[in-house]
Structure 1
Amino acid sequence: MVKEAVSFYFKEKRPEEFGSFLYDLPEIKSANEKYTQTNIPGRVGSLVTSNGSVQNIEIKCTLSIVNKRFLSTLRNLKEWLLGHGKLSFTETPDSYYEVLWVDHGDIARQVRKYGQFTVTFICIPYEFEITGKESYTLPSSGILNNSFQESMPVYKITGEGMCTLSVNGNEMTANVGQNLTIDTRRMSAYRTDGTVMNTSVTGDYDKLHLLHGSNEISVSSGFQLEVIPYWGWKA
C-alpha cells in the first residue's frame, strides 16, 4: 500500500489544485516567549522575568510547480496565497493553525532559479484542536473539562442587565444588553452586530482562560452562557 504524500489545506484548498505540491516536510518554528533580563549587583547571573507575551510562529513550506501552464499557475498561486485563513496538514487533520499573514516572496524568480519556492505562514502561536470550535451551552454553574493545554475561550452571554461571569473563582462583571461576547484571546468584548463593548466589562481577560483539567464556570442567575473553548496546544 502506497502512503499518500503529506500535503496541506489553506483556506480549504490544497496546493495540488493549483498545479503544485509540497516538496518537503514543513518547517515549524516554535514560539518564543519574550522576557527581560535584569542585572542585580552581587548576584551571579541575570534575573529573567517573562512579560507574558509570545511571538507568532512561522511555518515554512517548500513547493514545486508541476503544471505546464506556468504563468497561469503562478497567477492562481499568488491569489490563493494571500491574506489570512486556516492552515492544516493532511497527517494531522484534527488540528489547525490560524494564519495571520503569508509571505511567498517572488515565486517566479524562485522557481526559475531553484525549481521550488518557499511559502512562510505567519501564525498565532497555538495549534488548535478542531473540536475546540464547538459551542458548549452551560447551566448557571457547571464544570467544563479541558483535556488539552491552557486555552483562550470565547464566552457568549445572553440576557439583560448586570452579570458576573466566574471562571475558577476569577470574576468579570459585565453590563449585558441582550447579548455580549467576551473574547479572551483578543481581549475584547463586543455584541453580535460587531459593536465594541470594552467599557461594559470589568475584570482580567487572562484569568478567564481554561486550564488543563476541570474548570468551574458560573454566570449570574437569569443569564445564559455558551463557551467556545478553542482548546489545543501551545506551538
Structure 2
Amino acid sequence: MMGLKFKDTHSSQYGLIVRSVDRNVLPPLKRREIEIPGKHGTYDFDGNVYEKRTISIEFGVVHYNFQDLRNKIRLIAAWLSGKGKLVFDDEPDKYYDAKIYQNVPLEQIISSGRFSVIFECQPFALSEDIENVATITSNNYNMIIENNGTIETPCIIELKNTGTSTITQITITKKVEV
C-alpha cells in the first residue's frame, strides 16, 4: 500500500510508511437474535444491519535521530486525533468516516520506529456527492439516477422554481456507499 490521507493530510507529510494489516471487505453483521428458553438454537430476526468497521494500519516512522523521532511523534499524534475522512491511495474515489479511540504506546514507537492504529469507521465507504442537475421544460420528464454502490443509499431531491415561468430546476444529490 502506498499511503493514506486522514483529515485531508497525507501520511507522506510525516515520512510514514504505511502497511494495511486488516481492511476487511465487509463489516460484521449486527446480531439480531433472541434465545427462547426450552427452544433449540435461537430465533434470528435477519436484516442486513452492519456494525462499525475497524481498519488496522501499521505505520513505520522514518527518522534521523531520537529528537527527530520525538518531534514527529507529537505531530503524528495531533494529526491522528479527532474524526475525519480516511482515504487510501489505492481507492482514491472512496472514503470512510473514521476516528481512532485507542492510544498508541510511546514505547512501541521509540523501540521499533513502528506503531499500529485501529480506525473505527462507519460501516461503508462513501463517494463524494454525485450531483445531477437538469432543467425541466416539459410536463413529462424522466431522470434516471443509478446507485453504483453495494448498499441502499438515500438521496436528497431538491426542486427549485427559478422564476415565474413553468421551468423548474431539479438537483439530486446522492452519496454512494460501497
* TM > 0.5 fold call: yes
Shift of 1:49: 0.9
Q: Which of residues 1, 20, 24 is equivalent to 1:25?
A: 20
Shift of 1:155: 0.7
Residue range with higher mean Cα deviation, 33-42 or 73-82: 33-42
Deviations for 1:60-101, whole angstroms, at most 9, x for unmatched residues?
Answer: 1111111231121111101111212211111222222121x2
Counterpart secondary structure, 2:5? strand
Shift of 1:227: 2.1
1:123 maps to: 121
Counterpart secondary structure, 1:128? coil
The one-letter code matched in structure 2 to 1:59 is I
C-alpha separation in 2, matches of 1:44 and 1:223: 60
The one-letter code matched in structure 1 to 2:96 is Y
Unaligned runs of 5+ in 2: none
Q: Measured at CA, do residues 106 and 146 of structure 1 come closer, stay the same or move farther in structure 2, by a change above 3 Å? A: closer
Is the aligned partner of 1:230 residue 2:175? yes
Mapping of residues 89-100 of structure 1, within 5 Å? 89-99=88-98
C-alpha separation in 2, matches of 1:108 and 1:65: 13
Shift of 1:154: 3.6
Q: Measured at CA, do residues 55 and 114 of structure 1 come closer, stay the same or move farther in structure 2, by a change above 3 Å? A: same
1:45 maps to: 41
Shift of 1:36: 2.7
Deviations for 1:39-75, whole angstroms, at most 9, x for unmatched residues?
Answer: 4578653221146642111111111111231121111
Q: Could you tell me the TM-score, scaled by structure 1's length?
A: 0.59
Deviations for 1:155-174, whole angstroms, at most 9, x for unmatched residues?
Answer: 142559xxxxxxxxxxxxxx
Shift of 1:149: 1.9
C-alpha separation in 2, matches of 1:38 and 1:136: 44
Identity of aligned residues (%): 20
CA RMSD of aligned residues (A): 3.0
The one-letter code matched in structure 2 to 1:226 is T
Mapping of residues 115-194 of structure 1, within 5 Å? 115-130=113-128, 133-137=129-133, 142-158=143-159
The one-letter code matched in structure 2 to 1:155 is I
Q: Could you tell me the TM-score, scaled by structure 2's length?
A: 0.75
Q: Measured at CA, do residues 59 and 90 of structure 1 come closer, stay the same or move farther in structure 2, by a change above 3 Å? A: same
Shift of 1:223: 6.7
Shift of 1:106: 3.0
Check the 8 A contact 2:153/2:177 in 1, yes or no. Answer: no
Counterpart secondary structure, 1:72? helix
Q: Which of residues 43, 60, 64 is equivalent to 2:60?
A: 64
The one-letter code matched in structure 2 to 1:109 is E
The one-letter code matched in structure 2 to 1:134 is I
Check the 8 A contact 2:20/2:56 in 1, yes or no. Answer: no
Residue range with higher mean Cα deviation, 101-110 or 115-124: 101-110
Q: Measured at CA, do residues 143 and 107 of structure 1 come closer, stay the same or move farther in structure 2, by a change above 3 Å? A: same
Q: Measured at CA, do residues 227 and 153 of structure 1 come closer, stay the same or move farther in structure 2, by a change above 3 Å? A: farther
C-alpha separation in 2, matches of 1:129 and 1:26: 23
